[in-house]
Every structure is written in structure tokens, then in C-alpha cells.
Structure 1
Amino acid sequence: MIEQFAENVDLGLSKSEKTLPSKYFYDKNGDELFIEIMNMPEYYLTRCEMEIFTTQTDELVDSFRADKNEYFELIELGAGDGSKTRKLLAALSDKGYQFDYLPVDISQNSLEQLQLSLQHHLPLVSVVPKHGDYFEMLGSVKDSHHPKIVLFLGSNIGNMTDTVASDFLYQLGANLSKNDKLLLGTDLIKSEDIVLPAYNDESGITHSFNINLLHRMNTELGANFDLDAFSHAPEYNEDEGIAKSYLLSNKEQSVKIAATGKTYHFRAGEKIHTEISRKYDDDVLAKILAKTDFSVNSKFTDQKNYFANYLLNRN
């Protein structure tokens, strides 16, 4: 894990336009900070998706067209704290569906906390945690031959470019069978005054979340980043429909990373691209799905039309 972390960091920081993979945000501190982000007044995404799961729970369950007499697997990619999913799990359990809930996450800490929470709140739901990479974990259940409903919520798909997202969904479909389902959470395209504060809150939590990536590199990779010498610098282009997060070097500086055995140089004002957050509409999603095995079955939105959960069918 450390070797891959170091390799990915070296690859990104060696580019002419420096990057760092967003998946490394999520250590224990990163997990806790992201939970704080989800509770920020500016971060509408979680509240809007929670509204859908709270007010349209029965409609979501009905859209799955699951047979109460047939066992299925409910697989959540990037499960996090599972707060939204709990509404769905409770409804499925109360209605007598037969299923196992398989939360998949790269964070062992998140999985442990989620399992403890569900044991307390929904003791009748069977939980089978899967720690690791999405496709590795999907591969482990691919041959079970049971119907599958996959959840990919929170607009996690938005952390990918459209090309990568299309390839991701194609690969996901390759691990599923005909008529399996995918519930895909997407943040919809909106104006800058709504979107940008979600990535640049007044309390500075998103700043801490982005800077924590440097702290993690200091701790795990033996780097010597001066955390005060970098700033959180988000951008959003409504026409493009993509929010981007950067770490901005406040001065000319050099950073040594023991795990890579290299020194990296930063100009004053130079940016490290850490994350994208793609926003969607029906047309954007249609283009992404064009080369996959998925088609749109249903669409659920919150009252403000800020967020959408698309129910996709594996053709």
C-alpha cells in the first residue's frame, strides 16, 4: 500500500502540471474531515441525496424490481458512513426482501465504523464488508450468480473525467449480469454561487481536507511539506460543469519525499491538481453511458433539482 502510494505520488508530482490522486484523501483524519464536510451548510450534495432517500424510499425500492422470494446482493461502492443507505436498508428489511449488504470501501476505518453502526441500528440486516478496490471486490462476488444491485452514491462518479467514468462503468457492467441494477448518484450542473462554496466553505474544513493530503504524505512517506506554504484553491466553470480542487504553492520551494528518494520543486503560484467534481445533466450522462452496457431506467431528484439518483439497468 505504501509502495503504491509513493509510486502514485512520484508519478503525479513529476508531471509538468502536478497532480495527486484524490483517493489518498481518505485516511482516518480524512474520513473524519469528510464527514464534517458533508455536514457543512454549504455542502448541499449530502442533504439533497438524503432528501431523495428519505422522501422517495418506497419509489427507490420499487424501481429495483426485486423479487421478495429471490435472494440478492446489495453492493455499495465507497460506502462511507452509510447514513443515506441506512434508509434503504431499513425499508428493504421491513418489506421482507432477502439480501446481504456488501459495503465496499478503501478505508478499513470507515467499514469498521459502518458495521458497528448497522449492528446497533439494523441488527437484522446481514452486513458483509469488503475492504479494497472496487473491481477487486466486485470480482470476488462476480461468480455468485445472484442478482445484484450496486449503489454508487454521493456523486463519487464525479471524481472521474468523462472518459474515465465511461470506462469505469463499462468495467462495472462487465462484472454484472443482464438486468442487474446500478443506482448512480450525480450532482447536477448549477450556477457557481451554489457549487463553489461547497468546495470552499467559510469554516475552512475543505481547506483542511485538501491540506491533509500533504500531512498524510509527511507521515506515511517521510515527506517534509510545510503545510503553511500551501493553500486550498478550488475553481468551478459552469459552462464546463466541473469543479476542480488544487493545492497552491505560496512560494518557491522544494520538498523531499523519503519514500520516493526524490526532491520536488514548486514555483510560487504553482498548482497541484487534487480532485475534480463533475456535474451532470441527462445529456452528459447519456454520452458517458453510450459505450457501456447500461441504460437509464428511472431518475429521482430532490425538490430543488440540485441532485439526481439515476437507476441504470445492465442490458
Structure 2
Amino acid sequence: MNATFKNDVDLGLSAPTKYLPSKYFYDKKGDALFVEIMNMPEYYLTDAEHDIFKNQTLNLISALKINKTINFDLIELGAGDGIKTKELLKTLKQLGFKFTFIPVDISQNALNNLEKTIKKELPYISMNTKQGDYFNVLEDIKWFQKPKVILFLGSNIGNLKDGKAKEFIHKLSLALNVNDKVILGADLIKPKSIVLPAYNDSKGITKRFNINLLERINRELNANFDLNNFKHQPEYNEKEGIAKSFLVSTKKQNVEIGALNKTFTFYKNERIHTENSRKYNDTIIEDITKVSKLKIIDKLTDSKNYFADYILEKTAE
């Protein structure tokens, strides 16, 4: 049993406003469901960033200002299936850059799958996988000796509240050396009509993805959540620019979690907050990065201007 998972579930469900950390979506079933989500027509984020990586690869590489004669580490935080990154890997190799690809993910299952596909599709890529969450892995990255390019794509930064995002960017900055680079993927603020369907698709895949978190608690922590007694409820406030996901109890009910030796009461319409997905503009990104020594040196957007990849550089100041 994962003791951290157990403790985080206890903390979240004991809070006055119940919540569960979104990082626990990603078990084997959750990984597969998220791949389905990324392929949904409503989920524009993947296609938008893929557009940048596929059609502006040379511009992306140029913006990084990498010294072609020096071997560097290309470290991806939250690598997932790596579909966008493969476009970059192929072009870097074709252009003769020397690097080691280091994908990092909280899901060992995701890393195993990625390693298989990289070995099959890009067998010439030097690769070392690393399992863990972002904050913990930063401590290890700090000691890597070679120049670093960090990929933090998919607007994963948006899962963090602004205060936590600032803390993360600050710690990321501390883990880098002067002139190291970051590609920070950020979903841009858009109308509700575009954003909300991405978290509430017509086939109900996002619902299954959220409900799977309760199923995981049942399986790993010996709980008795009745999955039929919870519904998926996404919300998006255009002015605030934050999409939020909730699991909502459809009735008053008690849930036992055997591993905690506790019973939790849920009232009708009581919500469990499962995820934030913040949307950005230049002002918000500048505010998040100003606490660090990471400075914006370039920005690439997709053809619809839905998504941006910001290029950050660690400065001496």
C-alpha cells in the first residue's frame, strides 16, 4: 500500500471542504483513460500543443539557443505518452544535437509504456526514465551536471493553484543553472463554450476518469464507495480563468475506508474537489515566474491561438 496515498486521502476527505489530489488519477486504468481524453474532439489542448511541436519544431529549437557541441539533458516532467515530445526528439537528433531524454512521471505504468514506444519508434534516442512527482524530482535534478532543458507541457502547471505554481517555479529555478531552459506549456484563457466541453465530453470519458479515483481508493485502501452515488461536475469561470472538477454525492451516505479505519459522511450535493485547470495569459505567467530567476525569452502559439509554449531561461540576476 502507498502510505502517501493513504495519508493524502485521509487529509483530503477530512477537510471541511473535501478534496482529493489530482495526481492520484494516474493508475493503470487512469493512464489509459487519459489517453482516451487526449484523443477526444472536445479536448483541444493536446492537438493545440502538438500543432506547435509538429509545425514549429525548428522555431522551438531555435528559441532554446542550445549549443550543438555540448551534450545536454532533456528532462520532461509529467511525460505521459510523449506524443508531442517525439516530434522534438526526432528533429533534435536529425539536426545532430547530443542529448539524453529523461522522462519523469508519477505513473510507473506510463513510463514503462513510453519506454517501449521510444525504443520501437526512436531506437537511436538515449533515454533514462525517472518515477516520482514533480516537487520531489526537482531535488534530484539539481545535481545533474550537464546543461538542462526542462519540458513541462500540456498545461500541467494549471493543475497547481497560483501560490503552489509560484512555489514550483521557484524550486524549478533553484534546480537549474544559468542559461538552462524551460518549455512551459500553458492553456490560454478562452470562452466557456470552448473550455468546458474539454472537461465534460459527450462520451463521458472525463467522468469515468474522475470516478476512477474513487474506484482506486476502493481497491487500494479497502473502501466501499458506491460509484453510482457520485456524479462528475466540471465548472469554468471565464473571468477567473480556472476550470474546476468535482465529484458530487447524489445522496446522504457513509463510506468506510478500511485502511484508515474511518467512516466518512457525505451529504447530498456535497462536493469533492478533484482538479483545477488554470488558463493563462502573459500577465499571469509573468506573475508566476517573477518569484524566480526564470525569465520569458520567447513564446510560440498554435494556429488557433488556444495554447502557448513559453520559453524560459535561468538568468544570473
Q: Answer yes or no: same fold by TM over 0.5.
A: yes
Shift of 1:257: 0.3
Return the alpha-carbon distance in structure 1 between the equivalents of residues 133 and 233 of structure 2. Answer: 29
1:16 alignment counterpart: 16
1:64 aligns to what?
64
> Counterpart of 2:137?
137
> What secondary structure does 1:164 align onto?
helix
Secondary structure of 2:30's counterpart equals helix
The 2-side partners of 1:164 and 1:141 are apart by: 19
Question: Residue 288 of structure 1 aligns with which residue?
Answer: 288
Counterpart in 1 of 2:106?
A: 106
1:53 maps to 53
1:260 Cα shift? Answer: 1.1
* Separation (CA, whole Å) in 2 of partners of 1:63 and 1:105: 25
- 1:222 is aligned to 222
The TM-score, its normalising length taken from structure 2, stands at 0.98
CA distance in 1, matches of 2:121, 2:31: 21
Distance (Å, rounded) in 2 between the aligned partners of 1:131 and 1:39? 25
Query: In 2, distance between residues paired with 1:32 and 1:251?
Result: 30
Tell me by how many angstroms 1:135 deviates: 3.7
Shift in Å, 1:139: 2.8
Residues 167-197 of structure 1: CA distance to partner in whole angstroms, max 9, x if unpaired? 0000011111111001000000000000000
Kindly provide the CA deviation profile for residues 266-308 of structure 1, in whole angstroms up to 9, marking residues without a partner as x.
1100000000000000011111112111110110001111000
Which digits, 9 at most, give the CA deviation of each residue in 1:65-102, with x for residues without a partner?
A: 11111010000000000000000000000000010000
Correspondence for 1:186: 186
Q: TM-score, normalised by structure 1?
A: 0.99
Deviations 1:190-233 (CA, angstroms, capped at 9, x unpaired)? 00000000000010000000000000000000010000000000
Percent identity over paired residues: 54
Contact persistence 1:2–1:221 (CA under 8 A): no
**Whole-angstrom CA distance in 1 between matches of 2:135 and 2:251:** 40
Instruction: Tell me if structure 2 keeps the 8 A contact 1:254–1:264.
Output: yes
State the 1:132 CA deviation.
Answer: 1.3
Structure 1 stretches of 4+ with a deviation exceeding 4 A read: none
SS in 2 for 1:75: strand
Q: Quick check: 1:104–1:131 contact (8 Å CA) kept in 2?
A: yes
Offset of residue 6 of structure 1:
1.1
Partner of 1:177: 177
Q: Distance in 2 between matches of 1:241 and 1:136?
A: 28
Tell me whether 1:122 sits opposite 2:117 in the alignment.
no
Matched, 1:277 2:273: no
Equivalent residue for 1:309? Answer: 309
- Return the offset for 1:136: 3.3
Q: Distance in 2 between matches of 1:211 and 1:282?
A: 34
Contact 2:142 2:174 in 1 (8 A): no
Q: Which residue of 2 aligns with 1:238?
A: 238
Alpha-carbon distance between aligned partners in 2 of 1:289 and 1:144, rounded to the nearest angstrom: 22
Counterpart contact for 1:20–1:274, Cα < 8 Å: yes
Give how far 1:63 is off: 1.0
Q: Match of 2:123, as an amino acid? A: P
SS of the aligned residue for 1:297 comes to strand
Give deviations 1:224-276, integer Å, cap 9, x for gaps: 00000000000000000000000000000000001111100011000000000
Which is further off, 272-281 or 128-137?
128-137
Decide whether the 8 Å contact of 2:252 with 2:266 is kept in 1: yes
Amino acid in structure 1 at the alignment position of 2:24: Y
> Alpha carbons of 1:183 and 1:261: their partners in 2 closer, same or farther (altered >3 Å)?
same
CA contact (8 A) 2:135 2:168 kept: no
Q: Partners in 2 of 1:254 and 1:135 — Cα distance?
A: 34
Letter in 1 for 2:220: E
- Root-mean-square deviation over aligned CA pairs: 0.9
Distance 1:30 1:239 in 2: 30
Mapped to 1, the partners of 2:299 and 2:33 lie a distance apart of 30
Q: Could you say which residue in structure 1 is the equivalent of 2:247?
A: 247
Q: Distance in 2 between matches of 1:64 and 1:303?
A: 21
Q: Please give the alpha-carbon distance, in whole angstroms, between the structure 2 residues aligned to 1:184 and 1:196.
A: 22
